[in-house]
Amino acid sequence: MQHPSIMEPFYLTKEPYYQPVGAEAVLFKAAYESKRPVLIKGPTGCGKSRFVAYMAYHLKRPLITVACHEDLTASDLVGRYLLQGDETVWADGPLALAVKHGAICYLDEIVEARKDTTVVIHPLTDDRRILPIEKKGEIVPASDDFMLVISYNPGYQSVLKDLKQSTRQRFIALEFNYPPRATEIQIVAREAAISEEVARRLVGIGEKVRNLKNHGLEEGVSTRLLIYAGQLIGKGIPPHRACAAAIADAMTDDAEMHRTLMEIVRSFFE
Amino acid sequence: MQHPSIMEPFYLTKEPYYQPVGAEAVLFKAAYESKRPVLIKGPTGCGKSRFVAYMAYHLKRPLITVACHEDLTASDLVGRYLLQGDETVWADGPLALAVKHGAICYLDEIVEARKDTTVVIHPLTDDRRILPIEKKGEIVPASDDFMLVISYNPGYQSVLKDLKQSTRQRFIALEFNYPPRATEIQIVAREAAISEEVARRLVGIGEKVRNLKNHGLEEGVSTRLLIYAGQLIGKGIPPHRACAAAIADAMTDDAEMHRTLMEIVRSFFE
Amino acid sequence: MQHPSIMEPFYLTKEPYYQPVGAEAVLFKAAYESKRPVLIKGPTGCGKSRFVAYMAYHLKRPLITVACHEDLTASDLVGRYLLQGDETVWADGPLALAVKHGAICYLDEIVEARKDTTVVIHPLTDDRRILPIEKKGEIVPASDDFMLVISYNPGYQSVLKDLKQSTRQRFIALEFNYPPRATEIQIVAREAAISEEVARRLVGIGEKVRNLKNHGLEEGVSTRLLIYAGQLIGKGIPPHRACAAAIADAMTDDAEMHRTLMEIVRSFFE
Amino acid sequence: MQHPSIMEPFYLTKEPYYQPVGAEAVLFKAAYESKRPVLIKGPTGCGKSRFVAYMAYHLKRPLITVACHEDLTASDLVGRYLLQGDETVWADGPLALAVKHGAICYLDEIVEARKDTTVVIHPLTDDRRILPIEKKGEIVPASDDFMLVISYNPGYQSVLKDLKQSTRQRFIALEFNYPPRATEIQIVAREAAISEEVARRLVGIGEKVRNLKNHGLEEGVSTRLLIYAGQLIGKGIPPHRACAAAIADAMTDDAEMHRTLMEIVRSFFE
Amino acid sequence: MQHPSIMEPFYLTKEPYYQPVGAEAVLFKAAYESKRPVLIKGPTGCGKSRFVAYMAYHLKRPLITVACHEDLTASDLVGRYLLQGDETVWADGPLALAVKHGAICYLDEIVEARKDTTVVIHPLTDDRRILPIEKKGEIVPASDDFMLVISYNPGYQSVLKDLKQSTRQRFIALEFNYPPRATEIQIVAREAAISEEVARRLVGIGEKVRNLKNHGLEEGVSTRLLIYAGQLIGKGIPPHRACAAAIADAMTDDAEMHRTLMEIVRSFFE
Amino acid sequence: MQHPSIMEPFYLTKEPYYQPVGAEAVLFKAAYESKRPVLIKGPTGCGKSRFVAYMAYHLKRPLITVACHEDLTASDLVGRYLLQGDETVWADGPLALAVKHGAICYLDEIVEARKDTTVVIHPLTDDRRILPIEKKGEIVPASDDFMLVISYNPGYQSVLKDLKQSTRQRFIALEFNYPPRATEIQIVAREAAISEEVARRLVGIGEKVRNLKNHGLEEGVSTRLLIYAGQLIGKGIPPHRACAAAIADAMTDDAEMHRTLMEIVRSFFE
């Protein structure tokens, strides 16, 4: 590792709060040790990013996260030439940084990115484990500690935003879902700093709302929104008002669905 | 706060005129204190921007507003390198400014922006509260005083211009609507500097016009247009002519609908 | 006003010929005094641009006209950095010029412009009256004399090229149409330097042709084309040949419609 | 006229061969004297460009022709800044050159151009006769000798490539067609340097082929192709082989239509 | 011819192997002498490019070939400014080189190019024979030796990739097809260095395969692929394996069609 | 070979593990010796890239691999000018490097690339064997050792992403498929470092899963994923959990199909 100082901001300095719910940590560690990339699938706000941070902390690796979007190109990941004074100077992108310095590179919502970015990761995800930097005519072998992790929400799957089989079949995949009830209650109570009783009601609302998925709701409610509702309640906002702001208004613009959501809320906080 | 002087133009120097109509101010303050971002939903001209300015004034925070549009990219928000003499110099965008100097950043009509801008705000709207500046390989932690506010008009909702659940579920949401009659009369009278009686008639017209929404009108009439009509009347323009210019001509190109609107006007100013 | 000399080319030095036909001048003046922006609606060639020039002359304001088109961006209006020798120098766009120096800025056929330009005018058309120059991180308050005027042809209205309600509801609107017969005869006679009798016939043709709108003609004939026909007649071209060139050939490629138009012409110049 | 030498290459040094067939030259001259722009409509290869050159020669004006295409932008016409050594230097585009130096600017196939180019010509085609150079914040009044001419093939008319009424209604229009038989025989004989008899047969083929328009042929055969066929015959190529190469193969890829065309050829050169 | 050395790499130093099959060479020469451009139509791999090279060799002209593609713009053909040290320097594109130095410019598969390239060639293909270099405000008259040749595969004809009549009707057209049997046997035997007997069988396969066009095959088999098969056989590969690799696998991905092709192969090499 | 050191990183230093399954190596060698390009067709993860590396090792040629993607342009392959200090310096792209220094250039998934890249390879794949570098006005003859190899997955074939016949008919084609059972067991056991018995079961699963192609599965399971599953088992992960992560979760998001895949897994590891 040549310039460890460059990596400093990417080390996690305290353990992220994460509750393992299955074999995900064991599988992730086995993939890391086998030098295989990992694909994490699951709905919005179920803890995918938190899990990656948790694993980075325990594997003692810096974590470089890139939120992918429609305009993210291969150059954004690999690097580009910048004009500096009299010369063009090469600036490594986040993926090149991770490859060289043995970081975990986490490409969040990979299917949102431009197609060239998904293909650029191919040579890093087979036995070659190399990053060709075409603009420099260079081939960078990945550090032994480098790991690529990508995430993907199958609920958004569409023809245009699908992960190609030639990409998928390069990853060990972990399927995520909302945490089980007891775990989620613990999480909501702890993160919102509220009583277990209030957290239990909020998680109850969460479960009922998630049943509405594909019955008019595009996606279930995230643990994050339940925590928001809890925080507002903790600030003294009446529960139904807190849930309106953090859950019903946040999730839908449809008057009918809004009413349904608020009925669920009232059945827990009458 | 390193360079407070940079922020000077963004402080509001006098209290914006705003009439609270519910718990919106309390919820906004609770969200600010919990370091959570806020999403404001509501129709055109119902006071969303005014409310944000009002809150910025009372929370004593500078306010940086960005009117989003189809060509607004992540770089427009975060910043870019500019060539200056012999060197490329980094120039912070409005979002980076707000993040560093603890301002409220208000992204107006967020769904109009390029998709990459909505995703760039993700790491600012979860526990990380960081702004990764990929072009500089830097991670900027948000100032404790930083707050992100976005607005959105659900009436314009379409497949292409929708807010993704993975974005929505990161915000506490406040639903706005036109002010109640008494409040609106007060606002129109004050802002247009006209009598309460004339204001009452204009608000009456407003209510009737808003009932036409989804009956040929895409959107209700804004409080702003009622104020315009009032101002023209105050300038001595006959009421039906003022309402034609400020309401009927401004709102529709359809001859039939125009006639309907003018009938409503005449029923108040015969 | 700091550099009045910059504005010199934008002052009108002689009164444009314009015949007021209603309250349009009074309403425009009231809007100007109330610091409200104006939207002028009406068909091709009915005098919208001429009216704005006439008002600029009488209000003694410089007039900056921008013909909007599909590739006109916000930067074209606001300004951009130019490389000059060793430095990048900021160059104000026409809108920034008008805002700073108190001109009337006339955005002709606003719906043709890129969407970002329509949104850039929002902060100039509410109580803020400011122009945020995002690339410079600057907020420019509009001069008291600044006025924004936009035009729009409702006849071209389509889903893609429509004015959003959130934009429309920021303007006082003036609806224009072709001038009444007596006025139009006077205009055509004067501008083409022909006898009232010939002008009367040309205006007669104009009225008949305008009745064909929506009966195979996309748009009525403009006063401008009637003047062209008059000028050709004044040059000694036989009337039916002059009207073929200036009216029928100019307006349609359809053989059937061409014949109809020429029949109308012959009924006035047999 | 400041730098007449710049215009030198644009003056025609010998009279282009053109046979007037109606009032087109008289109308063009009247338009030129009235400072009105001209729109020339007609099918491929019927002599539109030749006519403009002929008029430029007789009016003693330099002629700047721009072949419009899908990627032609307003900047291509007006001009742009070029980096030259240490400075950015402005370079006038062909339209700006013509406007300043009193040339005839001929925009060939205007509907092919980007929409911004058609709108850029608006202020040049009404009473203002100005060219706003937005990038320089300059307004250039047109020289008295400047004339704008555009051409357009109505046969290609489509929703996407149509001339908007707001553009059309700014021009005096001249409709062109293939020359009458006697004229065309004279042209073909002269240009191909062949006998009148052979030219008569070629023009006979031309007439029959033009009747097939809208019966499987997109467009009639141009006078130009008849001249090509004549030239090949003049070079000793057998007539049916010359007509195959210059007419049938050039015009169609359809075997059926090819056969029909060759039958027409054989009926004239058995 | 100012800098003949620039043209050196474009002269063909040995005669390309080409078997004339009709009047194509005579017509091409006549077109060259008449200073008319030529359009060569025909299927993939039937010898179009080879023919142009053959003619260039015999007319003693340098040959500049440009393989057209979707992103080829007018600037790629005409030239562009390059930054070199302190100055922008103009660099002629291949078309400008050919125009100035009297080369044959061969635009292969012209319909693949951006539309602006097809229009840029217009002034070179009528009596003007000029190349306007708009970016330099220059008009370059073509050298007397300059000739423009374009190719086009009518089999690919589609609405989007069609040659416009206004372009087609500027060319003398030559229709190409696969060579007649005896010629093709000679070509295959010579190029693959195999016996006439093996070549005869390969050409027999070719004829049968070409009959399948429009019966499931998009295009017939090219002479080139027959030569490849011959070469593999010459290298000791068994004929059916050679034909599988060079013909069946190369031409189709459809299992059914593959079987049909291999049955044809086996009927010649049992 | 001028600068052999440039090529150093592209030489393979140890023999890639590859099990030939037919005549592919003999055909590839014959193509190489005949200076013909090769097209390799086959499904994801069946060993195409490994085979090319294996051949490069045995032919003692450097190997330059380019993963093609939607935004890969001809310039990315051929090279471009870079600004360096005071001058623009030419930088060869990977294809130009390979052409000049006699490498094998492997364009992986060629149909993903921009169309201009497929056309740029045309002059390299016929008798000319040249690379025209249009931007430099240069024609580079290919080194005798240069070979072009492209790959293509016919399973993804679509109208938009198809290989044109004019491109296909320039290649000798090799069709690849999954290795036969005995070979694949050997590969999986060796690469995953597991017993032949476990490898046999994994290959059994692979065969059953591949039968599901076109019955709900877009593509069969790759040998690579079977190796991943084996590696996880080798790390002590229970087989069904390893197969869930490496096979079922990796291949599908469909609950039904997931269940089917896991039933297949359980039938081999009960």
pLDDT score at E3: 46
Closest C-alpha to E111, from E160, E66, E42 = E160
Q: Judge whether C115 and B71 are in contact, CB under 8 Å.
A: yes
* pLDDT average, residue stretch A259-268: 96
**Percent of chain B predicted with pLDDT > 90:** 58
Pairing of strands D38-41, D172-175: parallel
In the predicted model, is pLDDT for residue E17 greater than 80? yes
D175–chain C nearest CA distance, Å: 7
What is the model's pTM?
0.74
pLDDT score at D45: 82
Counting one residue from chain D and one from chain E, the pairs whose CB atoms sit within 8 A come to 115
pLDDT score at B152: 86
| Structure-derived torsion over alpha carbons of residues E183, E184, E188, E194, reported in degrees to the nearest 10 | -60
Lowest mean pLDDT among A140-154, C31-45, C65-79: C65-79
Closest C-alpha to E77, from E105, E39, E38, E103 = E105
The residue count for chain C: 270
Q: Judge whether C108 and C151 are in contact, CB under 8 Å.
A: yes
Find residue E19's DSSP bridge partners: none
Question: Which sign does the torsion angle of CA D79, D84, D88, D90 carry?
Answer: negative
Query: Which tens digit of pLDDT belongs to each residue from E162-208?
Result: 787 888 899 999 999 999 999 999 999 999 999 999 999 999 999 99
C171–chain D nearest CA distance, Å: 23
A254–chain B nearest CA distance, Å: 9
Residue E235's contacts (CB-CB under 8 Å, 6 or more residues apart) are F30, F33, F34
Coil, helix or strand at residue C257: helix
Closest C-alpha to D39, from C247, E123, C203, C226 = C247
H-assigned helices in D60-180: 74-78, 94-101, 115-120, 165-168
Query: Which tens digit of pLDDT belongs to each residue from C183-196?
Result: 999 999 999 999 99
* pLDDT average, residue stretch B117-142: 83
What's the distance, Cα to Cα, between the start and end of chain B in Å?
59
Query: Which tens digit of pLDDT belongs to each residue from C198-234?
Result: 999 999 999 999 999 877 788 899 999 999 999 999 9
Counting one residue from chain A and one from chain B, the pairs whose CB atoms sit within 8 A come to 115
Which among B119, B137, B139 has CB closest to A67? B119
In the predicted model, is pLDDT for residue E161 greater than 70? no
E260 vs A46 pLDDT, higher one: E260
Contact residues, chain B, for A216 at CB < 8 Å = none
Counting one residue from chain B and one from chain C, the pairs whose CB atoms sit within 8 A come to 116
Which among A33, A114, A118 has CB closest to F235? A33
pLDDT score at E34: 94
- Encoding tokens for residue C100? 């700073």
Contact residues, chain D, for E123 at CB < 8 Å = 65, 67
pLDDT score at F86: 61
Binned at pLDDT 50, 70 and 90, residue E26 comes out as very high
Pairing of strands E38-41, E172-175: parallel
Query: Which tens digit of pLDDT belongs to each residue from F49-79?
Result: 999 999 999 999 999 988 787 777 888 899 8
Chains A and D touch (3+ CB pairs under 8 A): no
Mutant choice from D95, D117, D166 vs C, greatest count of C C-beta within 10 A? D166
A68–chain F nearest CA distance, Å: 16
Q: Is D241 in Cβ contact with E137 (below 8 Å)?
A: no
DSSP state of A259: H
Binned at pLDDT 50, 70 and 90, residue A214 comes out as confident
Cα–Cα distance, E99 to D97 (Å, whole number): 25
pLDDT score at B67: 79
Mutant choice from B13, B99, B228 vs C, greatest count of C C-beta within 10 A? B228
pLDDT score at E47: 87
Mean pLDDT computed over every residue of chain C: 88
DSSP state of D13: S
Closest C-alpha to F43, from F220, F246, F247, F248 = F220
| ipTM computed for the complex | 0.85
Which among E41, E88, E165 has CB closest to D84? E88
- Encoding tokens for residue E245? 């690799």
Q: Which long-range contacts (CB under 8 A, 24 or more apart) does A192-195 make?
A: A192/A226, A192/A227, A192/A228, A192/A229, A192/A230, A192/A231, A192/A233, A192/A234, A193/A230, A193/A231, A193/A234, A194/A230, A194/A231, A194/A233, A194/A234
CA atoms within 13 A on the CB side of C262: 15
DSSP state of F71: T
In the predicted model, is pLDDT for residue A161 greater than 70? no
In the predicted model, is pLDDT for residue C159 greater than 60? no
pLDDT score at C83: 63
Cα–Cα distance, B27 to A65 (Å, whole number): 31
Binned at pLDDT 50, 70 and 90, residue B85 comes out as low
pLDDT score at C91: 84
- Element (H or E) spanning F197, and its range? helix F196-211
Find residue E40's DSSP bridge partners: E151, E174
Q: Judge whether A131 and A99 are in contact, CB under 8 Å.
A: yes
DSSP state of B142: P
D255–chain E nearest CA distance, Å: 11
Binned at pLDDT 50, 70 and 90, residue F213 comes out as confident
Q: Is E138 in Cβ contact with D45 (below 8 Å)?
A: no
Name the neighbours of F, counting chains with at least 3 Cβ pairs within 8 A. A, E
How many beta carbons lie within 10 A of that of residue C196, not counting itself? Answer: 12
Which among F65, F76, F250 has CB closest to A169? F250
- Encoding tokens for residue C21? 């036909």
Q: Judge whether A232 and A246 are in contact, CB under 8 Å.
A: yes
Cα–Cα distance, A268 to A177 (Å, whole number): 23
Q: Is A139 in Cβ contact with F109 (below 8 Å)?
A: no
pLDDT score at F68: 83
Q: Judge whether F169 and F39 are in contact, CB under 8 Å.
A: no
B267 vs C75 pLDDT, higher one: B267
Q: Is C82 in Cβ contact with D81 (below 8 Å)?
A: yes
Mean pLDDT computed over every residue of chain B: 88
Closest C-alpha to D37, from D118, D93, D97, D92 = D118
In the predicted model, is pLDDT for residue E2 greater than 50? no
Q: Supply φ then ψ for residue E128, to 5 degrees.
A: -70, -40
pLDDT score at B32: 97
pLDDT score at D36: 95
Separation of CA F269 from chain center: 31
Q: Is D67 in Cβ contact with E132 (below 8 Å)?
A: yes
D127 vs E11 pLDDT, higher one: E11
Query: Which tens digit of pLDDT belongs to each residue from D54-111?
Result: 999 999 999 998 878 777 788 889 988 776 656 677 888 899 999 999 999 999 888 8
Q: Is E88 exposed, middle or buried (0-12, 13-18, 19+ CB in 10 A)?
A: middle
pLDDT score at C1: 40
Closest C-alpha to F242, from A40, A23, A167, A150 = A23
* pLDDT average, residue stretch B147-153: 93
pLDDT score at B2: 44
Which among A88, A157, A169 has CB closest to F84? A88
Q: Is D172 in Cβ contact with C246 (below 8 Å)?
A: yes
pLDDT score at D2: 44
pLDDT score at E4: 55
Cα–Cα distance, A230 to A236 (Å, whole number): 10
pLDDT score at D3: 46
Contact residues, chain C, for D30 at CB < 8 Å = 231-232, 235-237
Query: Which tens digit of pLDDT belongs to each residue from D8-62?
Result: 888 998 899 898 888 999 999 999 999 999 999 998 888 898 999 999 999 999 9
Cα–Cα distance, E30 to A108 (Å, whole number): 65
Query: Which tens digit of pLDDT belongs to each residue from E30-49?
Result: 999 999 999 999 988 888 98
Lowest mean pLDDT among A236-245, B143-152, E126-135, F52-61: E126-135
**Percent of chain F predicted with pLDDT > 70:** 91
Q: Judge whether F226 and F208 are in contact, CB under 8 Å.
A: no
Q: Is C222 in Cβ contact with D169 (below 8 Å)?
A: yes
pLDDT score at E52: 96
What's the distance, Cα to Cα, between the start and end of chain A in Å?
59
Query: Which tens digit of pLDDT belongs to each residue from E58-116?
Result: 999 999 988 787 777 888 899 887 766 566 778 888 999 999 999 999 998 888 787 77
DSSP state of F25: H
In the predicted model, is pLDDT for residue D1 greater than 50? no
Residue D255's contacts (CB-CB under 8 Å, 6 or more residues apart) are none
pLDDT score at D145: 96
Q: Is C71 in Cβ contact with D34 (below 8 Å)?
A: no
Locus of tokens 């007596």: C182
DSSP code per residue over E166-218 = HHHTTSEEEE--PPPHHHHHHHHHHHHT--HHHHHHHHHHHHHHHHTBTTTBS
Binned at pLDDT 50, 70 and 90, residue D4 comes out as low
* pLDDT average, residue stretch F96-106: 96
Chains E and B touch (3+ CB pairs under 8 A): no
Separation of CA F257 from chain center: 27
Pairing of strands F147-152, C38-41: unpaired
Find residue E39's DSSP bridge partners: E150, E173
Cα–Cα distance, B70 to B78 (Å, whole number): 16
B182 vs B44 pLDDT, higher one: B182
Q: In what order do the strands lie in the sheet with B147-152?
A: B63-67, B104-108, B147-152, B38-41, B172-175
Chains C and F touch (3+ CB pairs under 8 A): no
Which among D114, D138, D171 has CB closest to C71? D114
Mean pLDDT computed over every residue of chain A: 88
Cα–Cα distance, A191 to B36 (Å, whole number): 13
- Encoding tokens for residue F200? 């046999």
Q: Is F108 in Cβ contact with A23 (below 8 Å)?
A: no
Which among C84, C112, C251 has CB closest to D88? C84
**Nearest residue in C to B223, CA atom:** C169
A57 vs F3 pLDDT, higher one: A57
* pLDDT average, residue stretch B116-132: 83
**Nearest residue in D to C235, CA atom:** D30
Q: Judge whether B203 and B188 are in contact, CB under 8 Å.
A: yes
Cα–Cα distance, F86 to A86 (Å, whole number): 7
In the predicted model, is pLDDT for residue E239 greater than 70? yes
H-assigned helices in A178-254: 181-192, 196-211, 223-234, 239-243, 249-251
Asked: is C24-175 a CATH 3.40.50.300 domain? The reply is: yes
Mutant choice from D26, D27, D213 vs C, greatest count of C C-beta within 10 A? D27
**Nearest residue in A to B75, CA atom:** A71
DSSP state of C12: -
C28–chain D nearest CA distance, Å: 22
Which among C30, C41, C83 has CB closest to B249? C41
**Nearest residue in A to F71, CA atom:** A116
In the predicted model, is pLDDT for residue B206 greater than 60? yes
In the predicted model, is pLDDT for residue D196 greater than 60? yes
Q: Which amino acid is at A87?
A: E
* pLDDT average, residue stretch F180-191: 95
Query: Which tens digit of pLDDT belongs to each residue from A66-81?
Result: 878 777 788 889 988 7
**Nearest residue in D to C258, CA atom:** D175
Binned at pLDDT 50, 70 and 90, residue C106 comes out as very high
CA atoms within 13 A on the CB side of C178: 23
D67–chain E nearest CA distance, Å: 7
Q: Is C173 exposed, middle or buried (0-12, 13-18, 19+ CB in 10 A)?
A: buried
Residue B239's contacts (CB-CB under 8 Å, 6 or more residues apart) are B198, B201, B229, B233, B265, B269
**Percent of chain C predicted with pLDDT > 90:** 58
A22–chain F nearest CA distance, Å: 11
pLDDT score at F118: 66
Which among F88, F118, F173 has CB closest to E249? F173
- Encoding tokens for residue B263? 């009938």
Q: Judge whether A43 and A178 are in contact, CB under 8 Å.
A: yes
Domain boundaries, chain D: 24-175, 181-268
Pairing of strands B87-92, E147-152: unpaired
